[in-house]
Amino acid sequence: MKLIGDISLSLDLFLLLFFWHCLIGGIATVIAINKGYPRLNWLIFGLLGGTFTFFIALFLEKKPKI
C-alpha cells in the first residue's frame, strides 16, 4: 500500500512541475509576442523550453517594424 502512496506523491510533484514549466513558457511567449516575434513559434518554444525559453525571451531585442 505504501508504494501506491509514493507513486501518487511523485505524480503530484510531476504535475506541479509540469504546470509551472508550461506557465513560465507561456509567459516567455507573451514577452516574445510583445517584442514583435511570431506567436506560434514562441508558443511551441515556450511550452517545450520552459524556463530556458523565458530567459531567452527576456534578452531578445525588439524586432524592428517594417
| Segments of the chain with pLDDT less than 50 | 1
pTM over 0.85: no
- Residue 55 located in a structural domain: yes
Residue among 4, 61, 49, 60 at smallest CA distance from 25: 49
How many domains does the structure of the chain reveal? 1
Domain holding 59, by residue range, is 19-66
- Residue 24 located in a structural domain: yes
Tell me the three state secondary structure of residue 29.
helix
Residue among 50, 32, 34 at smallest CA distance from 42: 32
- The span from the CA of 31 to the CA of 48, in Å, is 16
| pLDDT of amino acid 19 | 92
| pLDDT of amino acid 1 | 43
| pLDDT of amino acid 60 | 87
Q: Give the CB-side neighbour count of residue 42, counting CA atoms within 13 A.
A: 22
The C-alpha cell of 31 is what?
A: 514577452
